[in-house]
Amino acid sequence: MSNGIRVAIMGATGAVGQEFLNLLEERNFAMSELRLLASARSAGKTMRFKGQDIPVQELTHNSFEGLDLVLASAGGKISRDFAPSAVKAGAVVVDNTSHFRMTEGVPLVIPEINPEDIFKHKGIIANPNCSTIIMCLPLWPLHKRYKVKRVVAATYQAASGAGAVAMKELEDETLARLEHREYKNTVIPHPYAFNLFPHNSPMTENGYCEEEIKMVKETKKIFHDEAIRLTATCVRVPVLRAHSEALNIEFENEPDIAEAYDILSKTPGVQVMEDRANNRWPMPLDASGKDPVLVGRLRKDLSQPKTLDLWVVGDQIRKGAALNAVQISELLFPR
């Protein structure tokens, strides 16, 4: 490997871990060493990177010696237990789990929005929730121009949010239903093929699930604005990859549709995609495997003033997870 920093992927065999590998290769991230860390049952497997087979090592508290950067996506409990060991060994952890996001003193970063927060870290930088990233990326430039007062979000979330096993389960269950066979879900808690259901993250006392609460709290932290009011309804839909969101956004200042389109078309990481004549708007298949968050169907809310509706679609594994973490790392360790 070329001269550069020493990197580990914690949770290398998962869907996001595999995407970390793809992105580090695609973006030619400058590394002198790459360690792939996973559970004992994955140790000894190999993963392909730049034409080489790299062995997966068992994750232990001694896995981090000599490292500069750890990209973590192995689950919140694993990050809670192992991230401090990585920091103690001298590495910076960019953590894709929810464990540290709302911790005081841990930056929560979307590089296109609050890159300056990266450099306030004390060893750990948190990657926001996928639905939060996909919503905030187009929301931020509109907030800077018109000031957001309130957002009502409805999400349509793909199986990828529950990992590679959930994606495989959706494929298997769909085939079983088409062949009129019985199928027992083990990852997703409800019948999933040809069905949808409110998000299956744990329910809180106020009637919101954790996924919805994450969107509310994380947006305020990223925007450094506690005054923004948000509410969300998160729904799991039988789509393999890429989340969709319908956003209803109330502003303090009167928005102009043409200007808002112009702002979004110039926003890094955002792509306007629509064909009004043919009633064609961004779809999960358009965003799957792609970096930009796709937007369209921008229109004035007929029911109240200073309010726009916006349709947003983004790849949950890329910008919603791995790409955001790699972009943070590129700013942290510039060439």
The residues that are catalytic are 130, 243
CA dihedral of residues 11, 129, 137, 289 (deg, nearest 10): 40
Token duo for residue 196: 């949808």
Encoded amino acid at 37, one letter: L
| Contacting residues for 226 by C-beta, under 8 A, at least 6 apart | 220
Residue with tokens 């894709």: 96
Gyration radius from the chain CA atoms? 20
DSSP state of 188: S
- The 3-state DSSP class for residue 259 equals helix
Residue 321 sits at φ, ψ, to 5 deg, of -155, -85
Q: Residue 53 pairs with which residues in a beta bridge? A: 48
Length of the chain: 335
Distances (CA, A) of 282 to 52, 252, 262: 36, 27, 17
Helix ranges, 210-334 (H): 210-223, 257-265, 284-287, 323-332
Beta strand ranges found along the chain (DSSP E) = 5-10, 31-38, 46-49, 52-58, 69-72, 92-95, 124-126, 148-157, 197-198, 229-236, 243-251, 270-272, 293-300, 307-314
DSSP sequence for 131-153: HHHHHHHHHHHHHHHH-EEEEEE
